[in-house]
Structure formats: structure tokens, C-alpha cells
């Protein structure tokens, strides 16, 4: 706490200094500007006063002729009377009248003396003749005619052109020295007031700026920490997510490799979580997951890691644990999970299946350790056992399928998966209206693996989440490319029942926005079994997607899981007839009747009806006569790579 507080003080000091520098710079600039402006105002005032003296005390007493030959006695007397008081009372320090060649023809301090002309022209006299006046700060005695000293009394020296009565001709130049000390006093007083205002204003600005920068910086730090936390943690439980879990596994193995200790990796799946969701709703289900997360965390050692991998699946890293201790630890965890929890006024409990693998006994790398812990969980759930450790015999359950798990995990991130696209055509016009994205695994040694060989194992080991995300993201990216030339095309993607346990709507809408694809162009095909598996959660998530504009299709309809009474309340916009009925309808009147009933039922409910498995023109004609909206099948095309898909739009076979 002390360290955190000290870092906070240091950050505040840094913000203070960072904001002080521009404020001080601004203050210096403003003060310099004010000083310059006050000085310019003083000179302007001095010039104005000199011109007033010239107009009132000099010009009226001149005859209007140039003073090349000096003043007449009368002019000299008149000027002496009009200026003696100005010099005497200190209004001016000195007042002289110069001829156009610069010669001093009158000095109010000694009116009877005519001073000799300067040896060279006077630039200030020439400038006053040309411009009307010139003014500057100086000291008394600094002029060459006065000896050129520099320690005299400060003054404002003004040269003002003196005109004749018609104001058309300059006849002389008045040289007036005005005391600067009164002006300096007023200048300093004004500057002091302005400095006070400036200091107070800039201090307030500094405090405000420093506070704002501190506040914004603190919010940005909090936002950054929150973003970093969410990138590595599950937002529901606060536990590490799959990404941080993988990092913790690697770190634990690296540390164990240095110390020679063992590491246990455990995967936990809640067996009765579906009942909690079905009975009490997803809000209580989420709360139950939080309770389980806390209990797992509390039951483990400080150095252990528990992570939420998705849905009701958790991963646990137990570094430095001996193999004989793991069963005891896991049974303690099962006891903690099995304790009653009050949700919605009811006492509920849950059971868990656990599979684990040991490093280095069961695996020599992080990937293999993760894969074999998954296999152990798969075996535990298949055998309905509570705790299973990986052993070589597990692979004997289904060597081909289970052996794909580790490779599939790598394939998702390594780009070994590809999408093929099968067209969906309008039943009447044969126009391609959509494509269904179907994932294939381009295995480096086994070739193209169909989804039936790896989707089930993905669903049972927790890989279905990242696999579905890859499919949706890749399909939307492809649709975004196609929409540039075919903006009316839609894309259909299959969603597993396991995906309905995650934050599906938020993620889907995020990816739609990222690829700039309209929600109405995405069709999510969800099987009836998904609704039967978790109807409350499935309905809630699909309602949210439908409200956002995403088209939801009920896939494989007719397998018997959805009652006719509930069909009208499901948030779907499309029925997809199970291919088994479509394939069999050509030889089975009963199946044809079922298809006809489904088409009529769908239309009565305001839904579009899609038939898949259309393989010949006879079935196509029957479906068209029954009023089916869209068809899909080998008659039109098998699934093809993206590069070949758009070419199908011009080659779909037309009816004879």
C-alpha cells in the first residue's frame, strides 16, 4: 500500500511539473508582451504630449516661414513666455526648436542663446520632417549637441514637425524631453497589477490543468488496466481466461523444469449446471458459476491457478504437486463444488467431472499436457467417472477421433482450417441468395478431413468455442469481400449447442461491426437439439440476436425435439427441413407429407422454409410445387472453395 501511494505521489509530481513548464512559459510570454505594450503606450503618450505642446506653445508664435535664418526677436520673446512655465514646473525637462537643417534655433532653458548647427545632419530631425514625429526613450544629455553623456535623467525624447498656418509646410522641428519617471511609476504600477492578475490567473489555470491531467491520466490508467484485465480474464467470474491460462501453464512448466518438480493440469466440467440454468434461468446460472469460481479459488493454494475456459468448464494448474496428492486435492475441490448454494430461494448443488494429466510423466510439452488433460476429461464424462487421470489406454476409446484433439487445437491457430461454401438458391428463380459456410480441416498428412470427424470431439473438449469463432469470423470476412459486388448475398453459419453458453450475441455483433456486414446478412443455423439442450439460455440468446437483426434459422427441423406449441414462440425467422425427409420424400409418401406440412406450418408462422439435401430435379420440382422458399443440395453444387463460389451464380443448372 505504501509503495502504491508513493508511486501515486510521484505520478502527481510528474504531472505537476509537466503542466508547470507550459504555464510558466505562457506567463513569461504574456509578461513580455505586456511590458512591451506598456512601453509602447508610454511612447505614444509622450508623442501625443509633445505634439500638444508644439500645437499650443510653439506653432501659434511662429510667422510660418522656415527658420533657416533663426527666429525674429518677437518670435523668440513669444516662445520664451509660452515655454518658460513648462520647463519651470517640470512638465518638460528640455524644449528646443530646430531648423530644418537640424540647427538649434531656440532652447527654452536659455532662450537668448542660439546654438551652432551640428556638423552633420540629424537623422531624428529628418525623420520627424518625413513622418511628422519620432519618439524614443533616452536620457538627458545623450544628444551630441549636449555632449553625448549616458547617465542623465531618464526621459522620453520626441521630435515633432512644426507646420505653418496652412499646415501644408514644415517650417521647424520641436525637440521635447518629457520626464520619464512619472510615466515609469505609472508603468510599473500597471505592470504590478497585471502581474498580480497574471500570476493569480495562471496559478488557477495551472491548478486546473494539473488536476485535469491527473484526472484524465488516472482514468486512462484505470481504463488501460481494465482493458488489460479483460483481455486476460473472464468478465463473469474474474478468473484468468483461456489465454492467460495457457501462459500460466507454460510458466509453470518452465519453473518446474528448473526445480525438477511435477505439474498437474486439471480440466473441470460441471455436470449439473444445465439443470440450474433450465430451472432457475441464466442469471442464477451465472451467479452459480461465480460461486463455483470462488470455491475453487478458496480451496486451492496461493500459487495455484484456476481459470474459466468457457461455459461451465474450468482449468486448474497445480505446480509442484506430487501425483499421489492430486486425487486428494481434486476430491477436496469436488466437495467444495458440491456444497449447497442458495439461488432464487432454492438450495442447489452441482457435480463435476475432472480429468488431469501430469508433467513430465504424461506429457513433455505444454500442448501435449493440455491435450491429454482434455482427453482425460472426455474419458471421465464418457465413463461417468468423477476423476480420471490421463493414461495411454484412453486413446483406445477412439484412436482416430481422440488423436485429433491436440492437432485440432494447433490447426485453429495455425491456419490449417478452410471454409467451403455451398449455395442456397431461390426455389423459383434458381438465383443464388446465400452461401452456407462449412468448415474443413486441411490436415498435412490426412488430407481434407470432413467436419463429422472432428466437430464432435471439439464439442466434447471445449475446442468448439474457438473453432466456431474462427468459422464465423472467417465467413464474415469472406462475405464482406463478396458484398462489394453482390450486396444482397447472405452467409449461413452453423452454431453448436455449446456456443450458446458463451457471450454469443456480444461477440457476433462485434464481428459484424468489425467486418462492416449488415446483421441481416448473417444467418445462424441452430439445431433443434440446441434448444432442447438448454431452452432457457438458447431462447434468451437468440432473442437478443434476432432483435439486433441477425437471421436465426432452426436447422434439422423435424427430428422431433421442438413441440408445435413452442415453435411459434421461438425467436427464429427460418425453418430448415431435416435432409433425411427431403432425401426420402421421392420414395416415401409419408415423408413427402411431412415436408408439405412443415412448409405450410412455416409459412403460417411467417417463416421462410429451406430444404437441404436436394439432389435431383424431381425432388426440386416437388419442393417448388409445395411452396418451399429456398433449396440447397448437390443438384446445385457441392461445397466449394471461396475462389469457386461466386462462379456458381452463373452456372446453377436451370430446370429442363
Q: What share of the chain is helix, strand, coil (3-state, %, to 5)?
A: 55, 20, 25
Q: Report the CATH number that the domain containing residue 526 is assigned in CATH.
A: 3.20.20.450
Residues 585 and 441 both lie in one domain: yes
Phi then psi for residue 303, to 5 deg, are -85, -5
Residues 182 and 289 both lie in one domain: no
Q: Report the CATH number that the domain containing residue 165 is assigned in CATH.
A: 3.30.450.20
Q: Report the CATH number that the domain containing residue 284 is assigned in CATH.
A: 3.30.70.270
Q: Is the peptide bond before 472 cis (omega within 30 degrees of 0)?
A: no
What range does the domain containing 455 cover?
414-650
Residues 503 and 373 both lie in one domain: no
Residues 392 and 420 both lie in one domain: no
* pLDDT in the model for residue 358: 92
Q: Which residues of the chain have pLDDT under 50?
A: 1-2, 4-5, 119, 397, 399, 561, 563
Residues 349 and 450 both lie in one domain: no
Q: Is residue 141 part of a domain?
A: yes
Residues 30 and 173 both lie in one domain: yes
Say which residues have a Cβ less than 8 Å from residue 91's Cβ, sequence separation at least 6.
53, 85, 178
* pLDDT in the model for residue 8: 54
**pLDDT single digits (tens) 310-357:** 888 899 999 999 888 888 889 889 888 888 878 777 777 777 889 999
Residues 384 and 421 both lie in one domain: no
* pLDDT in the model for residue 385: 66
Residues 371 and 440 both lie in one domain: no
Q: How far apart are CA 403 and CA 372, in angstroms?
A: 10
Residues 175 and 93 both lie in one domain: yes
Residues 374 and 418 both lie in one domain: no
- Total domain count for the chain? 3
CB-CB contact of 14 with 208 (8 Å): no
Residues 422 and 325 both lie in one domain: no
Task: Report CA torsion sign: 567, 569, 570, 575.
Answer: positive
CA distances to 226, 466, 504 from 230, in Å: 6, 17, 16
R_g of the chain computed on alpha carbons: 47
Q: Is residue 195 part of a domain?
A: no
Residues 380 and 418 both lie in one domain: no
* pLDDT in the model for residue 265: 94
Amino acid at each position: 500500500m505504501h509503495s502504491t501511494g508513493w508511486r501515486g505521489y510521484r505520478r502527481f509530481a510528474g504531472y505537476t511539473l509537466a503542466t508547470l513548464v507550459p504555464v510558466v512559459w505562457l506567463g513569461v510570454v504574456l509578461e513580455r508582451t505586456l511590458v512591451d505594450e506598456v512601453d509602447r503606450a508610454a511612447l505614444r503618450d509622450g508623442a501625443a504630449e509633445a505634439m500638444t505642446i508644439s500645437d499650443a506653445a510653439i506653432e501659434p508664435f511662429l510667422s510660418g516661414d522656415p527658420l533657416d535664418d533663426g527666429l525674429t526677436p518677437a518670435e523668440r520673446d513669444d516662445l520664451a513666455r509660452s515655454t518658460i512655465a513648462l520647463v519651470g514646473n517640470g512638465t518638460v525637462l528640455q524644449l528646443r526648436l530646430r531648423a530644418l537643417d537640424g540647427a538649434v534655433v531656440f532652447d527654452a532653458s536659455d532662450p537668448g542663446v542660439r546654438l551652432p548647427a551640428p556638423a552633420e545632419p540629424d537623422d531624428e530631425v529628418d525623420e520627424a520632417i518625413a513622418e511628422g514625429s519620432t519618439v524614443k526613450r533616452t536620457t538627458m544629455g545623450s544628444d551630441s549637441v549636449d555632449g553625448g553623456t549616458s547617465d542623465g535623467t531618464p526621459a522620453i525624447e520626441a521630435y515633432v514637425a512644426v507646420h505653418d498656418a496652412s499646415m501644408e509646410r514644415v517650417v521647424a522641428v520641436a525637440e521635447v524631453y518629457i520626464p520619464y519617471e512619472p510615466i515609469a511609476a505609472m508603468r510599473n504600477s500597471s505592470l504590478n497589477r497585471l502581474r498580480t492578475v497574471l500570476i493569480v490567473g495562471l496559478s488557477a489555470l495551472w491548478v486546473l490543468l494539473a488536476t485535469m491531467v491527473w484526472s484524465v491520466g488516472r482514468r486512462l490508467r484505470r481504463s488501460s488496466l481494465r482493458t488489460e484485465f479483460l483481455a486476460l480474464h473472464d468478465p463473469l467470474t474474474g478468473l484468468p481466461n483461456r489465454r492467460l491460462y495457457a501462459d500460466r501453464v507454460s510458466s509453470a512448466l518452465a519453473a518446474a523444469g528448473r526445480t525438477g518438480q511435477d505439474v498437474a493440469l486439471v480440466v473441470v466440467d460441471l455436470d449439473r449446471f444445465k439443470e440450474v440454468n433450465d430451472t432457475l434461468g441464466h442469471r442464477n446460472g451465472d451467479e452459480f458459476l461465480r460461486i463455483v469460481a470462488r470455491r475453487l479459488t478458496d480451496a486451492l493454494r496461493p500459487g495455484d491457478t484456476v481459470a474459466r475456459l468457457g461455459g461451465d468448464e474450468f482449468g486448474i494448474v497445480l505446480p509442484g504437486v506430487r501425483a499421489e496428492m492430486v486425487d486428494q486435492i481434486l476430491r477436496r475441490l469436488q466437495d467444495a463444488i458440491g456444497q449447497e448454494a442458495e439461488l432464487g430461494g432454492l438450495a442447489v448443488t452441482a457435480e463435476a467431472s475432472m480429468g488431469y494429466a501430469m508433467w513430465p510423466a504424461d506429457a513433455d510439452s505444454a500442448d501435449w499436457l493440455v491435450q491429454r488433460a482434455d482427453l482425460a476429461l472426455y474419458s471421465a464424462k464418457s465413463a461417468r467417472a468423477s476423476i480420471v487421470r490421463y493414461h495411454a489406454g484412453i486413446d483406445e476409446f477412439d484412436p482416430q477421433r481422440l488423436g485429433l484433439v491436440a492437432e485440432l487445437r494447433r490447426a485453429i491457430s495455425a491456419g490449417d482450417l478452410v471454409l467451403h461454401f455451398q449455395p442456397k438458391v431461390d426455389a423459383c428463380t434458381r438465383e443464388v441468395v446465400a452461401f452456407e459456410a462449412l468448415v474443413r480441416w486441411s490436415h498435412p498428412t490426412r488430407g481434407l478431413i470432413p467436419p463429422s470427424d472432428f466437430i464432435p470431439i471439439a464439442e466434447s473438449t471445449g475446442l468448439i468455442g474457438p473453432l466456431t469463432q474462427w468459422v464465423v469470423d472467417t465467413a464474415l470476412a469472406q462475405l464482406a469481400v463478396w458484398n462489394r459486388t453482390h450486396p444482397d448475398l447472405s452467409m449461413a453459419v452453423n452454431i453448436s449447442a455449446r456456443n450458446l453458453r458463451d457471450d454469443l450475441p456480444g461477440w457476433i455483433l462485434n464481428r459484424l461491426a468489425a467486418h462492416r456486414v449488415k446483421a441481416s446478412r448473417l444467418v445462424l443455423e441452430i439445431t433443434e437439439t440446441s434448444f432442447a439442450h438448454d431452452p432457457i439460455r438458447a431462447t434468451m440468446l437468440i432473442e437478443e440476436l434476432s432483435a439486433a437483426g441477425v437471421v436465426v434459422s432452426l436447422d434439422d427441423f423435424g427430428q422431433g425435439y421442438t413441440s408445435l406449441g413452442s415453435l411459434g414462440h421461438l425467436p427464429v425467422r427460418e425453418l430448415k427441413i431435416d435432409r433425411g425427409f427431403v432425401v426420402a420424400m421421392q420414395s416415401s409418401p409419408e415423408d413427402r407429407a411431412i415436408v408439405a406440412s412443415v412448409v405450410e406450418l412455416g409459412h403460417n408462422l411467417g417463416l421462410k422454409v429451406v430444404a437441404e439435401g436436394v439432389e435431383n430435379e424431381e425432388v426440386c420440382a416437388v419442393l417448388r410445387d409445395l411452396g418451399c422458399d429456398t433449396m440447397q443440395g448437390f443438384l446445385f453444387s457441392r461445397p466449394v472453395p471461396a475462389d469457386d463460389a461466386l462462379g456458381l451464380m452463373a452456372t446453377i443448372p436451370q430446370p429442363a
